[in-house]
Structure 1
Amino acid sequence: MKIASLLLFFVLGAVALPAAAQSVAEQQDAIVIENLRSAGSDITKPHSIDFFLYFPRKGQAKAAATEILELGYTVVELEKSPERSEWSVHATRTLVPELETMKASTRELEKLATEHGGAYDGWGTSIVK
C-alpha cells in the first residue's frame, strides 16, 4: 500500500511540476485561448495577435522594439502610456492561437522585456469566425 501511495504521489507530482514551472503569463495563455474558443473564435485559423510590453524609459522601449522587429513582429506603437507612467510597446503578429505557439511567444517576449528592464503584459486578439 505504501508503495502504491508513493508511486501515485510521484506521478501526480510529476504532472504538476510543468505547471509550476510556467510563468503566470504562460498560464494565462491557456485561459485566453479558452475564452476565444468560448466566444466562438475559430482557433484553427490565423489571428492578428496584439502583444503589450512596458518599460520605465523610452530608450529601453526603443531598444526592445528594435529586437521585436528582428524577431518577426510588427511594432504598431511605441508611446508614453497615458494610464501608466511607463513607455508601452504594442506589437502584432499573425499566428494561429495554438497553446504551444502562444507559450513560445510569451516566453520570447517575457525574456526580451526582462533583458531591457521592462515587463511583458500579455496578448489579445479579435474573434475570427
Structure 2
Amino acid sequence: MARKTVEQMAVNNIETPEGDPDVEQSMEFFLYFPTEWDAHVTKSCLMNLQFDTSVHYSESSDSWLCLAKKEIKPTKDRLLELKNFFDRLATAKNGSYDGWGTTVRDNE
C-alpha cells in the first residue's frame, strides 16, 4: 500500500473512537537529507520550535535522517499543517519529508 494512503488512513483513525485527538501524543517526524550539514541545520531550526531532535546516518536510504519528536494533539488539520511545514523545510535543504509516526497507547 502506498505510504500516502497509509498515512491518510492513520489520520482518519485519529478522529474516530479508537483515537482521541484531544489527548497529546508523542509524534515522530522523519526528514531525510543528502548531507549531514543540511540535517544538522534543520535540527537547529526544529530545536528552536521545541522539537526533540536527533540526526543519524541511514544506511538503508544512504542519507541523513533528522528525527523530530514532539507531544502534540494530532488532529487532521494539525497534521496537514505540519506536513506542509516539513515539506517546505526539507525541500529548502535538498531533502525530503517522509511522514510521521506515533506510538499507540493502551488506555486500559
* TM-score of the aligned structures, taking structure 2 as reference length: 0.82
Cα distance in 2, alignment partners of residues 97 and 58 from structure 1: 29
| Structure whose residues are more often strand by fraction | 2
Q: SS of the residue aligned with 2:71?
A: strand
Q: Which residue of 2 aligns with 1:46?
A: 24
Unmatched 5+ stretches in structure 1: 1-23
Rg larger in structure: 1
Unmatched 5+ stretches in structure 2: none
Q: Which residue of 1 aligns with 2:51?
A: 73
Cα distance in 2, alignment partners of residues 82 and 36 from structure 1: 32
Alignment match of 2:97 (pick from 120, 125, 128): 120
- CA distance 1:34–1:28, shift in 2 (3 Å): same
Deviation at 1:104, TM superposition (A): 1.1
Whether contact under 8 Å (2:26, 2:72) holds in the other structure is yes
User: In the TM superposition, what whole-angstrom CA distance separates every residue of 1:38-62 from its partner, at most 9, and x where no partner exists?
Assistant: 6933232110000000001101111
User: In the TM superposition, what whole-angstrom CA distance separates every residue of 1:28-79 from its partner, at most 9, and x where no partner exists?
Assistant: 654222244569332321100000000011011111111111222110x201
Q: Which residue of 2 aligns with 1:85?
A: 62
Q: SS of the residue aligned with 1:52?
A: strand
> Aligned residues, how many?
104
* TM-score of the aligned structures, taking structure 1 as reference length: 0.70
How many percent of aligned residue pairs carry the same amino acid? 24
Q: SS of the residue aligned with 2:22?
A: coil
- CA distance 1:97–1:79, shift in 2 (3 Å): same
Q: SS of the residue aligned with 2:12?
A: helix
Cα distance in 1, alignment partners of residues 6 and 79 from structure 2: 10
| Structure whose residues are more often helix by fraction | 1
Deviation at 1:113, TM superposition (A): 0.4
Whether contact under 8 Å (1:32, 1:124) holds in the other structure is no
